[in-house]
Chains A and B, each alone.
Chain A
């Protein structure tokens, strides 16, 4: 039987550093490659397994999970480029090439540009279990912030091994405390374990909510079952911190044609006067068009 997220995290082996909750769930190993290029910025490599409980109806990691890993690795890449300052995610633009994955997936991340107020990174995802087949390419932008009293004592070059596999881990939408629903409204409960080092909802929670919210809205609009659909290309803007919760996705189908449904997904912090915290646009694919 699948554990609830609460039961899952009662195990002391999961660790006590809240920065690790999300990454330990996704089990992404990370290592830093010291700078060799002229720009002087290190690159990062991530490797994450594709476990059955993580698979979407598309056959591989669901896009919310993939973007959670991308956000984590891109954030480290950008953060190391701006130390002793740190970063917060501003946006991700993801082109998805393949929904079916063997795994593990390898993510290579590098700095494209370091500006005065932001860092732009490029991330490429390939499937090592499928002859390095390309899975996704992502451009992620991070705003540079004063780190304040945040603990940034990294051991460099950073090496984080893959977290151990767990028995009966929850599905990613359950891990991110996304409540069951149908139609255009989808809610995420902002549990403390989902907060990042800034104390706000981890960017992966927003990515997962946009994925699930878009698929539910597309299912309602097209009459397809959710299992027949999968999120694909995603553009995600993080606008304001999600501090209170629940976070509500109020998805709206822009249009649908030939098995592609384009969904706009604004996300609001209901406990903070419903303010808009993120905006996504997601292409939802019909996995069996014509059936």
Chain B
């Protein structure tokens, strides 16, 4: 199936709402105005949604740099230093290296307040930093040709918007995710077009969201903490295979269950989350390392 219509109108990226621009020197900016449905315990965008935004940055860059070839995310690392509270969250990315088989990119993430008088570009404060590696997929007849904007344009323009109706419920519910067993960090969701990537498999940002939720649930259970007071500040994901059938599910191993403590890591829980495709004989599709912190009183949403 040709996928030049990606993302389709009914897609979580459209409901997230993204404005993108790409400059002649291949710097991509993707902006979003986070709605309450995508916020985490720290009142900032959930790490899985931030990973989604930087993955889109990479996708836009990759489409421009690699054409007519295409790409699949091989790994994504996100380190968060402050909550992505907005009012606008912007990821700015560029190519670090283009090789024969891989493309390495980076993106920094900032909060922007366009109304702030500090300067005309709006006040900017750092949220985090991400790097991504993409595997280059040689062009085929059914390779995607572009990311489609909301006006239906199928070329990769210099500026475009992906906009839908917005989420009517928290994003985890909107994508069909359900917590099946909190102590073991098992969450699951069906793989449907709403969460597809450009090649018809589960989108990498949704895998990040699954890892985030699984890590929070497992660490909270391990530590006797309230999961609604935990936030993920580190996500390192290796994408090993495509999840095409579903349901996708997680299994989680808590490494360190002290998110509210005062250890040398500043009180942090850690978990390794494996994402499998239950419909493909439990094939391992991703491994994620998740760092979880307790949100201080007064900063909980």
A residues whose Cβ falls under 8 Å from a Cβ of B: 58, 90-91, 93, 95-100, 112-113, 117-118, 120, 122, 134, 137, 139, 141, 143, 232-233, 235, 237, 239-240, 254-262, 264, 276, 279, 281, 283, 285, 287, 289
The distance from the CB of A140 to the nearest CB of chain B, in whole angstroms, is 9
Residue in B102, B106, B129, B255 whose CB lies within 8 Å of A97:
B255
Shortest C-beta distance, A61 to chain B (Å), equals 14
Say whether B81 contacts A260, CB under 8 Å: yes
User: Assuming the A-B contacts A113-B241, A139-B238, A279-B106, are A235 and B97 also in contact, with contact meaning beta carbons closer than 8 angstroms in the complex?
Assistant: no
State in angstroms the CA–CA spacing of A122 and B125 once bound together. Answer: 34
Which residues of B have CB within 8 Å of A259? 266
Q: Is the CB of A93 within 8 A of B289?
A: yes
Is B82 at the interface (CB under 8 A from chain A)? yes
B289 touches A112 (CB 8 A): no
Q: How far is the CA of A120 from the CA of B287 in the complex (A)?
A: 10
Q: Is B88 among interface residues, defined by CB-CB distance under 8 A?
A: no
Residue of B nearest to A117 (CB): B101
Instruction: Assess whether A237 is in contact with B289, with CB atoms less than 8 Å apart.
Output: no
Residues in A whose Cβ lies below 8 Å from that of B74: 118, 141
> A97 near B265 (CB under 8 angstroms)?
yes
Residues of chain B within 8 A (CB-CB) of A255 are 81-82, 125-128
Are B255 and A134 neighbours in the complex by a CB distance under 8 Å? yes
Q: In the complex, what distance in Å separates the CA atom of A120 from the CA atom of B82?
A: 30
Q: How many Å from the CB of B179 to the closest CB on chain A?
A: 23
Give A259 Cβ to nearest chain B Cβ, in Å.
Answer: 5
In the complex, the answer to whether B272 meets A141 with C-beta atoms within 8 Å is: no
Contact assessment for B264 and A137 in the assembled complex, using a CB-CB cutoff below 8 Å: no
Closest B residue, CB atoms, query A144: B101
CA distance A285 to B131 in the complex (A): 20
CB distance from B107 to the nearest CB of A (A): 11
- Asked if B108 CB lies within 8 Å of chain A CBs, one says yes
A141 with B104, Cβ < 8 A, contacts A95-B291, A255-B81, A281-B129 known:
no
* Known interface pairs A235-B131, A240-B97, A262-B81; A91-B75 also in contact (CB < 8 Å): yes
Which applies to chain B's interface (DSSP): helix, strand, loop or mixed?
strand
Question: B255 touches which one: A118, A137, A141, A235 (CB < 8 A)?
Answer: A137
With A97-B265, A276-B97 in contact, do A134 and B79 touch (Cβ < 8 Å)? Answer: no
**Residue B236 at the chain A interface, CB threshold 8 Å:** yes
Is B245 engaged at the interface, CB distance under 8 Å to the other chain? no
CB <8 Å contact, B266 and A258: yes
B265 to chain A: which residues have CB within 8 Å? 96-99, 232, 285
Q: Which single residue of chain A is at the shortest CB-CB distance from B263? A: A98
Task: Tell me, in angstroms, the Cα distance from A239 to B97 when the chains sit together.
Answer: 7
A91 to B97, CA, bound (A): 13
In the complex, what residues of A have CB within 8 A of residue B52's CB? none
A254 touches B256 (CB 8 A): no
Say yes or no: B128 contacts A262, CB within 8 Å: yes
B79 with A262: CB separation less than 8 A: yes
Known contacts: A90-B102, A237-B96. The answer to whether A256 contacts B81 by CB under 8 A is yes
Given A233-B79, A283-B79, answer yes or no on A254-B128 (Cβ-Cβ < 8 Å).
Answer: yes
Can you list 9 contacts pairing A with B, beta carbon distance less than 8 Å? A113-B241, A118-B74, A141-B74, A141-B75, A141-B238, A233-B291, A235-B77, A235-B236, A283-B234
Contact B289 A137 (CB under 8 A): yes
Interface string of B98-131 (1 = CB under 8 A from A): 0001101010100000000000000001111101
B240 contacts chain A at the CB level, 8 A cutoff: yes
Chain A neighbourhood of B213, CB < 8 A: none
B270 is an interface residue with CB less than 8 A from chain A: yes
**Are the C-beta atoms of B81 and A257 separated by less than 8 Å?**
yes
Complex contacts, A279 vs chain B, CB 8 Å: 96, 104, 106, 131
Inter-chain CA distance A118–B215, complex, in Å, is 27
| B81 engages A254 (CB within 8 Å) | yes
B77: min CB distance to chain A, Å: 4
Complex partner residue of B104 from A96, A122, A239, CB under 8 angstroms: A239
Tell me whether B287 and A112 are in contact (CB under 8 A). Answer: yes
| Residue numbers in A under 8 Å from B241 (CB-CB) | 113
State how many angstroms separate the Cβ of B281 from the closest Cβ of chain A: 13
Contacts of A281 in B (CB 8 A): 77, 79, 129, 131
Q: When chains A and B are docked, how far (Å) is the Cα of A117 from the Cα of B96?
A: 19
**C-alpha gap A149/B239 in the complex (Å):** 32
Establish whether residues B266 and A289, one from each chain, have CB atoms under 8 Å apart when the complex forms: yes
The docked-state distance in angstroms from the alpha carbon of A254 to that of B80 is 10
Residue of B nearest to A253 (CB): B126
- Tell me the smallest distance from the CB of A85 to a CB of chain B, in Å: 14
